[in-house]
A and B are shown apart, each in its own frame.
Chain A
Amino acid sequence: MQQANCERKEYELICVIVNFDLGSKVLGMAKKNGLSGGTIMLGRGTVHNRLLQLLELTDIRKEIVLMVSEKSQAHRALAVIDAEFDFRKPNHGIGFSIPVGAFIGTGNYEYDFNAEDGGVDSLYKAIFVVVDKGNGEKVMDFAKAVGARGGTIINARGSSIHETAKLLNMEIEPEKEIVLMLTKTESADGIVRAVRDNMKIDEPGNGIIFVQTVTETYGILNA
C-alpha cells in the first residue's frame, strides 16, 4: 500500500472561522491560490455583552472553513486570506493552521502514512474523512468493520477542483459529510486503508482523508 516516494511532503490543515456567508469567499480565494478544495461547516458564535445577553441577541452565525494543503502553499494561502480579511482587527474572524500527518484523496498528492508529524509520539490519531452527503454512514460502517469504535458525522458543504460549476455567478458547493474518528495509532492505518479502498478515495472526486496526531484524549474507553 505504501508508496515509496522519494520526497516526503508536509501537509497543513488550514482552519478559518469567519462570519456567515463569507466561507465561500475564503474558499474561492484559497482555490485561486492553488489549494485543491475545502470544506465548510456552519457554526455559532456568541458575544459577551450583558445587555445583549438579556435580550438573547448574542448569537452570531459563523462558517468554519477547512482546507488541507502542502505546507508552504498553505502558509502562502493563509497569508493572502489574512491580508484580505484583516484578521488582526476584532470581529474579522480567525485563521490558523495545524500540521497534518497524512493526506489522501486529491489524486495529485502523494501519501506517506507512517511519517511522524511534528515529531510527537502519541497513542491516538484523529482521522477526518470528507465525503459526499449520504456517504458518511458508509464510511462509519467500513471503519467499524476494522476496529473503529465510533465516530461523529458533521454536516458540511464544500467543493474541490472537480466541482467548479457556477449558478447565477455563485459557485456550487455540494453537500458533504465529515466523519471524525479518534482511534489508537496502531489501528489507524487499518481504518484508513479500509475506508480508502472501499470508498475508492484514490479516484478523484470521491473524497479525502487526512489524519492528525492527537496529543491528549479523554473519554475514549478501551474495552
Chain B
Amino acid sequence: MNILVGYIKDNAKAVFPLALVVVLLNLTLVPIGWPLVLRFLVGSILVIFGLSLFLVGVDIGITPMGSLTGTSLVKTNKLFIVLFAGLILGFMISIAEPGLMVLAHQIASVTLGAIPARLLLVVVSIGFAIMVALGFLRVVLNIPLKVFLLVCYILVFALAFFTQPEFLAIAFDASGATTGILAVPFLLALAVGISSLRKDSKASEEDSFGLVAFASAGAILAVMVLNLIIGTQQYDSLADLGSVAVERVAILRPFLKYIPSSFGESFISLLPLSVALFVLQKVLFKLGKYPFARMVKGFVYALIGMTVFFVGVDGGFMEVSSVMGSGLASLDNKIWLLLISFYLGFFTIVAEPAVYVLTHQIENVTSGSIKRKAVNAALSIGVGIAVTMAVIRILTPSIELWHYLLPGYIIAIGMMRFVPTLFVGIAFDAGGVATGPMTATFILAFVQGAASSFEGANLLRDGFGMIALVALLPILTLQILGFIYQARSKKQGVDTDAAS
C-alpha cells in the first residue's frame, strides 16, 4: 500500500462522519435540499483527494526541507546565522499565509480602515518571526521549554490587561490564522531538524515540539503591542461581514468559481518556501540532482493538493455548514444544536491538514510509541468541547470570551507541572495546529450560521471567540492525555515475575 493510497483511505475515514451527519440531518431535522447536500458530497471527495495529495507533498517536499534547513543551520555553528534565518523564514511564512491575509482585510473593513490590512499583516509577521528565532535560540541555549512557555504566557496575560477587547479577539484570531496549512508542517520539521543534533536523546525528542506554540504566541503578543502603541479607540463593531450568499441550485458551478482563487492562494503561500528552497540549495544544502528533484516534486504535490482542498472546502463545505447552523439554531430544542456542534468539532479536526502532519511527526519522533489514535482522540474531544462552548456562548450572551480564556489558560499553565515535557510541547503545538483551514471555514461558518439566527448575537465577536477556544481546549485535553500516559506507563509487576 503506497503512501498516497494510505492517505486517501485515512482521509476518507476522517471525512465520512461529516458527510453522514449532513445527509442524516437533511433527511430529518434540517432539510437543506439535495443540491446542497450533493455539493457537500462532491466537496468531500475533493477534500479527501486534495488533502491526500497535500500530505504526500508535505512528506516528500516540505518536511524534508524543513528538517534539512534546521540541521544545516545548526551545523553552521554560528548563532547569528541561526537567529537571522529564523527571523527571515518566520517572516516569510507568516506574511504569505492566506488565512492571515483574509483576516487582515476583514479587520481593516470592520475598523473602517483604522487598522490597515498591511500594517496588521506586517506586525503579526514580525511577532511571529521574532518568536521563531527565539524558539531556535531556546533549543540552542538549552532553556527548558516549560520556563519559556511560562514566560510567554505571563507576558500575554500582562499585556491582555491593557488591551481592549476588540484587539484581544483579533490577537487570538491572528495567532490561529498564522499557524496555517503550510506554516505548521514547516515549523514542526524545522524544530525536529534543529533538535535532532543533540546527543541527549530525551532532550532532542522534547525539543522537537513547541516551536509552533511560540510562533502563535508571537502573533498574539505583536497585536497586543500594536494596541498599546496606537492606543484605545472606539470601533464600530456593528459592521456586518456580509453573510454567505447561498447558491441553492447549482451543484458543480460553485466549484469552478473557486478554482482560480484557490490556486492563487496556494501558489502565494508556497512561494516563499519555494524561493527559500532554491536559495538554500545553492548556499547551504547542495543536494544531488535526485533528492533535490524529489523535494521539488513534493512542492508540486503540495500546490495541487492545496488547490483541490481549498476548492472542495470553499465550494462545498462553507454554505452547507452555515445553512445547517442557522437551521439547527432556529429549532426550539437547543439540545440538537449543542449535540451537533460537539459532533462537528469532534470529527472535523481529524480532517484538518496540519493535524495529520503533527500526529505523523509525533509517531516518527517517538518511534510510534505515542499513537496517532490517542492524540486524535484527545484533539477530537478538545475541539468538540470548544465548539460546544462557543455555541453556548452565543445562546447566553452574558458569557464573555475571557470568562473561558482566563481560567482555561491558567489551568493549561498550571498543568505543565504535572505533565511530561514532551506532552507539554505537543499540547501547546496542537493548540496552534487545531486552528487550520477546516476550523476557519467549516466550523466558523457553522457557528456564524447559528449566531445569525439569534437576535443580539454578533457575527464577528462570536466567530473570534470560537477560534480562540479551539486553540485553547486541545492544550488541556492533550496535557490530560500526557498525564494519563505517564501514570499508566509505569512498569507494573516488576517484583512479581509472572511470565508463563
Contact = CB atoms under 8 A, between A and B. Distances in A.
Interface of A: 19-20, 23-24, 34, 36, 40-42, 47, 52, 55-61, 63, 91, 106-108, 133-134, 136-137, 153, 155-157, 161-168, 170, 172-177, 203-205
A172 B36 CA distance: 44
B205 interface: yes
A174 B494 CA distance: 15
Interface of B: 1-4, 6, 56, 59-60, 199-202, 205, 294, 297-298, 301, 363-364, 366-369, 371, 373-374, 377, 484-485, 488-495, 497-500
A61 B2 CA distance: 8
B199 A162 contact: no
4 tightest A-B contacts by CB?
Answer: A157-B369, A165-B488, A134-B202, A205-B494
A106 B499 contact: yes
Contacts of B199: 137
Nearest to A73: B500
Contact of A56 (B60, B377, B488, B499): B60
A148 B86 CA distance: 40
B377 A168 contact: yes
Contact of B367 (A55, A56, A155): A155
Contacts of A55: 297
Contacts of B374: 167-168, 170
B1 A19 contact: yes
A164 B491 CA distance: 8
A221 to B, nearest CB: 23
Contacts of B491: 162-163, 205
Nearest to B497: A107
Given A42-B368, A165-B488, A175-B367, A59 B2 contact: yes
Contacts of B498: 161
Contacts, number: 107
Contact of A165 (B205, B489, B494, B497): B489
A177 B201 contact: yes
A205 B371 CA distance: 22
Contacts of A34: 500
Contacts of A133: 201-202, 205
Contact of A41 (B202, B367, B492): B367
A57 B497 contact: no
Given A60-B1, A165-B492, A157 B368 contact: yes
A36 B297 CA distance: 45
14 contacts: A41-B367, A42-B363, A42-B368, A56-B297, A56-B301, A57-B3, A57-B56, A58-B2, A137-B200, A155-B367, A161-B499, A173-B369, A174-B489, A175-B367
Contacts of B297: 55-56
B272 to A, nearest CB: 23
Contacts of A108: 497, 499
B373 A170 contact: yes
B494 A173 contact: no
A25 B255 CA distance: 42
B369 A175 contact: yes
A151 B335 CA distance: 61
Nearest to B298: A56
A137 B1 contact: no
A86 to B, nearest CB: 15
Contacts of B368: 20, 23-24, 40, 42, 63, 157, 173
